């Protein structure tokens, strides 16, 4: 991976003829080679800067930089890095007109900075970047939702959208899908956080919905275009971080929706949960959030204001 004559960033700028700054190009590379939410990679890049951190990663033989161990970061990078992929990501971003956000650029959602060293290196957006500042609230829950969960979700998401909130989901089947559909039915914008690149619509059954969100709302990912969907748990942390509030409508005791709410709590955000029947497996997670984690019971639309 060592570079000659030019640094890697300079070589990428020359090869792609990009208008992006050296720092932005370095962030694109890091987004492609570091695992999402990797706090060691985050600590290194935030301590010494993305461009210099890349040079350390590629050319240094030491085991530490700025007191941060490099072995794990190098191992992941050796498995994921290629110049070809970096060039493809830069070219796809420019050719397809995706918006690339970094902390130095207007539109960057400052809420994600609550993640600290787990903060994304960059964000790709298809759609309206101003939605990040329009009262984002995450609505999530079980993929295997019940009829009760579906009914509550449609009513609650519709009410939130009508009150001016921007619905944020992970676009999974079940509660996530019904929440997004409720907002779209009212021509209200929604944000879908993807587990792959913004050109990788997943799940496949939601392709039409995601296409509409790209036109009327926003698709967002911390992974470069072309990256297949895989990092679902890490996507949940971003779903929580992008919103001021998180509401869980139905959740088993091990599903991603539960982890999303707990991450939101760790970030100091408001969390709410819809109470459910004690005999329903889909309500165990929500009832646990209320009992053990201080979630506000959501029984009416106005309860969301208390989060």
Residue 173 has pLDDT above 80, yes or no: yes
pLDDT at 255: 74
Question: Of 209, 207, 179, 172, which Cα lies nearest the Cα of 193?
Answer: 172
Residue 5 has pLDDT above 80, yes or no: no
pLDDT in tens, 15-56: 999 999 999 999 999 999 999 999 999 999 999 999 999 999
Contact 40, 66 (CB under 8 A): no
pLDDT at 257: 87
pLDDT at 1: 41
pLDDT in tens, 78-95: 999 899 999 999 999 989
d(CA 1, CA 75): 13
pLDDT band at 219 (very low <50, low <70, confident <90, very high): very high
pLDDT in tens, 223-258: 999 999 987 889 999 999 999 999 999 999 877 889
Q: Which residues contact 106 (CB under 8 A, 6 or more apart)?
A: none
d(CA 222, CA 119): 9
Q: What are phi and psi of 87, to 5 degrees?
A: -65, -45
pLDDT band at 61 (very low <50, low <70, confident <90, very high): confident
Residue 178 has pLDDT above 60, yes or no: yes
For domain 129-306, the question of CATH label 1.10.1740.10 is answered with: no
Tokens of 307: 């989060």
Question: Where are the chain's structural domains?
Answer: 8-95, 129-306
Does this model's pTM top 0.85? My answer is yes
What's the mean pLDDT in 275-283?
Answer: 93
d(CA 3, CA 266): 41
């Amino acid at each position: 991976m060592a570079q000659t004559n030019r640094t890697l960033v300079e070589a990428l700028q020359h090869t792609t003829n990009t208008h992006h700054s050296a720092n932005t190009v370095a962030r694109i590379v890091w987004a492609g080679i570091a695992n999402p939410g990797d706090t060691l990679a985050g600590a290194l890049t935030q301590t010494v800067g993305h461009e210099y951190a890349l040079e350390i990663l590629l050319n240094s033989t030491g085991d530490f930089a700025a007191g941060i161990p490099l072995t794990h970061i190098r191992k992941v990078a050796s498995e994921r890095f290629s110049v070809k992929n970096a060039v493809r990501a830069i070219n796809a971003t420019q050719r397809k007109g995706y918006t690339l956000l970094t902390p130095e650029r207007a539109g960057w959602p400052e809420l994600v900075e609550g993640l600290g060293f787990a903060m994304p290196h960059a964000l790709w957006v298809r759609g309206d970047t101003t939605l990040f500042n329009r009262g984002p609230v995450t609505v999530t829950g079980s993929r295997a939702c019940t009829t009760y969960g579906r009914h509550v979700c449609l009513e609650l998401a519709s009410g939130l959208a009508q009150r001016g909130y921007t619905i944020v989901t992970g676009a999974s089947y079940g509660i996530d899908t019904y929440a997004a559909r409720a907002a779209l039915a009212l021509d209200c914008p929604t944000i879908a956080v993807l587990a792959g690149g913004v050109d990788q619509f997943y799940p496949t059954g939601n392709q039409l919905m995601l296409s509409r969100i790209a036109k009327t709302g926003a698709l967002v990912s911390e992974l470069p275009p072309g990256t297949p969907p895989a990092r679902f748990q890490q996507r949940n942390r971003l779903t929580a971080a992008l919103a001021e509030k998180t509401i869980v409508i139905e959740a088993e005791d091990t599903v991603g929706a539960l982890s999303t709410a707990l991450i939101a709590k760790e970030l100091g955000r408001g969390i709410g949960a819809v109470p459910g029947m004690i005999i329903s497996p889909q309500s165990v997670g929500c009832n646990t959030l209320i009992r053990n984690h201080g979630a506000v019971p959501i029984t009416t639309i106005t309860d969301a204001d208390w989060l």
